[in-house]
Homo-oligomer: A and B are copies of this chain.
Amino acid sequence: MDAAPLQVIPYDRPTLSALLRRHGIAPTHQRLEIARVLFARCQHLSAEQILHQANERHAETSKATVYNTLNLFRDRGLVREVIVDPKRVFYDPNTGPHHHLYNVDTGEITDIPADGLRLSGLPELPAGMVTEGVDVIVRVRSAGVSGLG
């Protein structure tokens, strides 16, 4: 049983604490700060971006802790990774089923809700395989920008 995907909750300290605890994560100051960055606006951020936003007021969280914490959050199912750019991983606080629009020019990632999107005709899995997830990535670019020379 997973926590139902909460969308618009007040992300104050007590709420975030409860969220972490529900996922078996001890709510430390740094972890709460990182969780706040991720859940406040429901964005898709890289570790570097999260590090900067977490340290906007006072520098109090190290780069190592950001990576440790993101891996912990991922392992506990609090966030998911979005793999669209070979250069860096993005972290998505929305773990519910949904897909992504990726602007290859700007690097911007936008959610595509899973309802309304129908995909059928997937081949049967080879025996002994279990589906972990299906990712749909729509790659777009700003019109007028030629991809070739």
Number of copies: 2
Is the interface on chain A under 10, 10 to 19, 20 to 34, or 35 or more residues?
A: 35 or more
Cβ of B121 and Cβ of A129 under 8 Å apart?
no
Cβ of B139 and Cβ of A134 under 8 Å apart?
yes
Q: Does A128 contact B (CB under 8 A)?
A: yes
* Chain B contacts for A134, CB-based, 8 A: 136-139
* Chain B contacts for A144, CB-based, 8 A: 128
The smallest C-beta distance from A80 to any residue of chain B, in angstroms, reads: 11
* Bound-state Cα–Cα, A132 to B141, Å: 7
Stretch from A5-13, A48-56, A110-118 forming part of the interface with B: A110-118
Cβ of B129 and Cβ of A142 under 8 Å apart?
yes
* Bound-state Cα–Cα, A61 to B35, Å: 47
Q: Considering only CB atoms, which chain B residue lies closest to A139 in the complex?
A: B132
Q: Does A42 contact B (CB under 8 A)?
A: no
Q: Does A17 contact B (CB under 8 A)?
A: no
Q: Does A3 contact B (CB under 8 A)?
A: no
Q: Does A125 contact B (CB under 8 A)?
A: yes
The smallest C-beta distance from A60 to any residue of chain B, in angstroms, reads: 27
* Bound-state Cα–Cα, A63 to B140, Å: 31
* Chain B contacts for A128, CB-based, 8 A: 142-144
* Chain B contacts for A120, CB-based, 8 A: 117-119
The smallest C-beta distance from A25 to any residue of chain B, in angstroms, reads: 13
* Bound-state Cα–Cα, A108 to B142, Å: 33
Query: What are the 3 tightest A-B residue pairs by CB atom distance, in nearest-first order?
Result: A119-B119, A132-B139, A129-B140
